[in-house]
């Protein structure tokens, strides 16, 4: 359905959608988020009964539709590889960040705080890996020392937040991860 809307008007697509850009659709998406928030508030305070819940479902549907439309327009305008790519990426991300749901690698989270700490730790590791990849790219272009110093600066920033992760990531562990990323880069 969404794919059909994004087609050029001459091929049966919607003329309004044809004029939209990812940036213009963000406004509609924000509006839908606000409408979902309003309906959630009504449901939570008990206003409107069944009607409120039906309105909430309708607003959630609108939000999902606008998100799908944004993905499709980004694909159209930025030539992303496949329409399923964003879904695969988010699926992979969730599997990495909440492996305890699937019993992966002996990970566990017994409470919300441990789950949040795990999510943040993996997110920080991913950022370090992304920076290592950027470092590799910059190094190939001749700017290695500057790029590596940016990785170190980011690491120092993360180190300040490590204590909040209840020793899930100690400063020592973080330093080891940075060193491993640097060694990995140097081997390439």
Half-sphere exposure of 104 (CA within 13 A, CB side): 9
Sorting pLDDT into bands at 50, 70 and 90, what band is 167? very low
The pTM score is 0.60
| CA–CA separation, 143 and 116 (whole Å) | 36
pLDDT number for residue 165: 46
Residues 124-150, mean pLDDT to the nearest whole number: 65
What is the CATH number that goes with domain 2-83?
1.10.287.1080
- Cα end-to-end distance, the chain, whole Å: 45
| pLDDT tens string 19-59 | 889 999 999 999 999 999 999 888 887 776 777 888 999 99
Smallest CA-to-CA distance from 118 within 156, 169, 163 is with 169
Q: Map out the domains of the chain as residue ranges.
A: 2-83, 94-187
SS3 81: coil
């Amino acid at each position: 359905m969404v794919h059909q809307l994004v087609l050029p008007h001459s091929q049966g697509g919607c003329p309004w959608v044809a004029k939209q850009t990812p940036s213009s659709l963000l406004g509609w998406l924000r509006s839908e988020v606000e409408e979902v928030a309003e309906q959630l508030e009504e449901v939570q305070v008990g206003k409107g009964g069944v009607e409120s819940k039906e309105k909430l479902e309708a607003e959630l549907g609108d939000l999902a539709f606008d998100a799908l439309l944004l993905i499709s327009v980004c694909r159209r305008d930025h030539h992303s590889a496949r329409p399923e790519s964003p879904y695969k990426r988010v699926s992979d991300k969730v599997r990495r960040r909440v492996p305890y749901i699937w019993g992966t690698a002996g990970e566990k989270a017994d409470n919300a705080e441990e789950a949040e700490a795990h999510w943040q730790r993996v997110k920080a590791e991913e950022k370090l890996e992304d920076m290592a990849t950027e470092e590799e790219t910059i190094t190939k272009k001749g700017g290695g020392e500057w790029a590596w110093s940016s990785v170190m600066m980011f690491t120092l920033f993360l180190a300040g937040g490590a204590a909040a992760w209840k020793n899930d990531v100690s400063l020592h562990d973080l330093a080891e991860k940075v060193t491993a990323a640097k060694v990995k880069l140097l081997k390439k």
